């Protein structure tokens, strides 16, 4: 319900910004992670815990994010039963939040997020792109789980 409410508010804000013109778009991709679902796999009713993972059933649309500066992928699930119809939720961290704060500077954060409108202060230093795995490599390692529909590059990233 939260996602649909936010989406309605975004459409309303766009319409207002465009002088009252109605705004529409295709079916939204509502892709969540870190949850438990009752599903049937190998003929058995099971509870699937997706921690850091999304559902990637045959035809399921999903979003696999990179970091604040590397873009994200829109994907379509292939329904791989060996993976319980799952795929990664994102790039995944290369280092802990504390290690990132000790390793990188605000200047490096600004450099790594150049071209993206976002916070570039110490408060989000732990989210620096260098603290994450290479999203292109992560995607390349799951070609048996998802097919890439689009690679998108963010222009705005809101953290905190």
Residue 94, classed as helix, strand or coil, is coil
Exposed/middle/buried for residue 115 (C-beta within 10 Å: 0-12, 13-18, 19+) = exposed
Q: Which of 32, 89, 150, 151 is catalytic?
A: 89
Q: How many CB atoms lie within 10 A of CB 94?
A: 12
89 is catalytic: yes
Q: What is the pLDDT of residue 160?
A: 64
Q: Which residue has the higher pLDDT, 8 or 48?
A: 48
Torsion of CA 152, 65, 8, 85, to 10 degrees: 110
- Report the C-alpha gap between 75 and 64 in whole angstroms: 7
- Report the C-alpha gap between 25 and 15 in whole angstroms: 12
pTM for the structure as a whole:
0.85
Q: How many CB atoms lie within 10 A of CB 9?
A: 10
What's the pLDDT tens digit per position in 74-85?
A: 999 999 999 999
Q: What percent of the chain has pLDDT over 90?
A: 74
What's the pLDDT tens digit per position in 37-76?
A: 999 999 999 999 999 999 999 999 999 999 988 899 999 9
pLDDT band at 21 (very low <50, low <70, confident <90, very high): confident
């Amino acid at each position: 319900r939260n996602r649909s409410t936010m989406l309605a508010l975004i459409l309303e804000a766009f319409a207002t910004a465009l002088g009252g013109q109605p705004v529409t778009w295709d079916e939204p991709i509502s892709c969540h992670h870190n949850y438990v679902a009752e599903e049937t796999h190998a003929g058995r009713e099971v509870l699937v815990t997706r921690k850091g993972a999304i559902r990637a059933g045959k035809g399921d649309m999903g979003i696999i994010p990179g970091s604040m500066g590397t873009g994200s992928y829109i994907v379509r699930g292939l329904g791989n039963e060996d993976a319980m119809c799952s795929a990664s939720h994102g790039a995944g961290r290369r280092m802990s939040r504390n290690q990132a704060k000790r390793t990188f500077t605000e200047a490096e954060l600004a450099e790594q997020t150049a071209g993206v409108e976002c916070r570039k202060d110490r408060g989000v230093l732990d989210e620096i792109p260098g603290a994450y795995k290479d999203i292109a490599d992560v995607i390349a390692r799951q070609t048996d789980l998802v097919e890439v529909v689009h690679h998108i590059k963010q222009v705005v990233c809101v953290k905190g």
